[in-house]
Chains A and B, each alone.
Chain A
């Protein structure tokens, strides 16, 4: 089946630094990618929808200047957490929608971010 990768799988950083997380669709083109966040013992919450070649659409309550999303190609979307704080520590998961099979969405393995 289709594969979505995320890099890195784990990252630990100091407060105030920026962290970039990559989401790649390995064997298909994804015009739309989604970024989710999951706090401990809670379900996934959508942060933003990323469309190739256009600006991301952010969910209410998600700061677009803090969580920068770039979807520069049909196989890559990046999420940059700027000026990270401990409360940004979370599990970030991306998903990608195959442009050939739009009713199917594939999830990445997730990135665990810890901000000290």
Chain B
């Protein structure tokens, strides 16, 4: 059974710092991996989708990497801003079935 973990559970950084969020999964046979952002009480916003054949994806200040063999993904946020404060969820797609979500990392970027 696929399990997804995320480290750290919470992170507080001053504005302008670069930061890395980590995601680990137990079964490397995944279809793709996706990073989401969730603001309090809101739904999910998809940030980056990495196919199983890809190693990284970039969008603006965000860069996500995928290492299937080791069961790891990282989300790199450059030059963090207070508006980046949210919970970041990592989810793996089990071969076209459902997503399995990690518990999330709660990020606070202080002005």
Binding site for B on A (CB under 8 A): 6, 34, 36, 42-46, 49, 91, 93, 95, 97, 102-105, 107-110, 112
Contacts and interface: CB of A to CB of B under 8 A. Distances in A.
A103 B51 contact: yes
Interface of B: 31-32, 34, 36, 41-44, 46, 49, 51, 89, 91, 93, 96-104
B6 to A, nearest CB: 9
Nearest to B9: A41
**Is chain B's interface secondary structure helix, strand, loop, or mixed overall?**
strand
Nearest to B91: A44
A34 B99 contact: yes
Contacts of B89: 43-44
Interface centre among B36, B43, B49, B99 (most CB of A within 10 A): B43
B101 A44 contact: yes
Contact of B99 (A6, A105, A108): A105
Interface centre among A36, A107, A110 (most CB of B within 10 A): A107
Contacts of B103: 42-43
